[in-house]
Amino acid sequence: KGHGFMVLTGPNKPKSRGHVRIRSADPYEHPEIIFNYLQREEDREGFRRCVRLTREIIGQPAMDRFRESEIAPGPNVNTDAEIDQFVRENLESTYHPCGSCRMGEDDMAVVDSQLRVRGIEGLRVIDSSVFPTEPNGNLNAPTIMLAERAADLVRGCGMLPESDVVVGLAAQWETSQRPSAPVRNVRV
């Protein structure tokens, strides 16, 4: 008694986009940060699926001895509208924001493909803010990979030669929860 667990859930690839804008030339003035969470229907549907899938997983017999009652969103939150309201009232950012310094060659890009800040000589951005999309996991490993590549760029190293490694992934792997058949058969 007295023990419990919680599950935090949310879709990995949100479609809604916000922005960070400089308000003035004063470096002490905080920027405008607008998240625009849940602006796209795909994101609202993604959260509904996450809530329902979490309930399905926690409702399995293997969890019976660990589970008592659902505290949040609560057993009376079931319809799309009820789940949407719960999500709107409780949604928060996680600890790993990314994508705020766009990479590209156009006027809206902050850095070029070499991670150099446009218009400022000798300055590069080498962190997850240059990621074009959010990874499906923690930002630590991809940020380390970016830093390794940035070190090569600073040293003037070129690209590694292409590899013929084939990666076996299920079609739609980013969006499907349960493949209808195993991706590959593993012999034990």
Residues 90-145 have pLDDT tens digits of 998 877 778 889 898 888 899 999 999 999 999 999 999 999 888 888 899 999 99
As a whole number of angstroms, the distance between CA 42 and CA 50 comes to 12
Which amino acid, 121? E
User: Is-above-0.85 flag for pTM?
Assistant: no
Please identify every residue annotated as catalytic: 96
Beta-ladder partners of 117:
111
As a whole number of angstroms, the distance between CA 60 and CA 187 comes to 27
Question: Which positions ≥6 away from 93 have C-beta within 8 Å?
Answer: 35
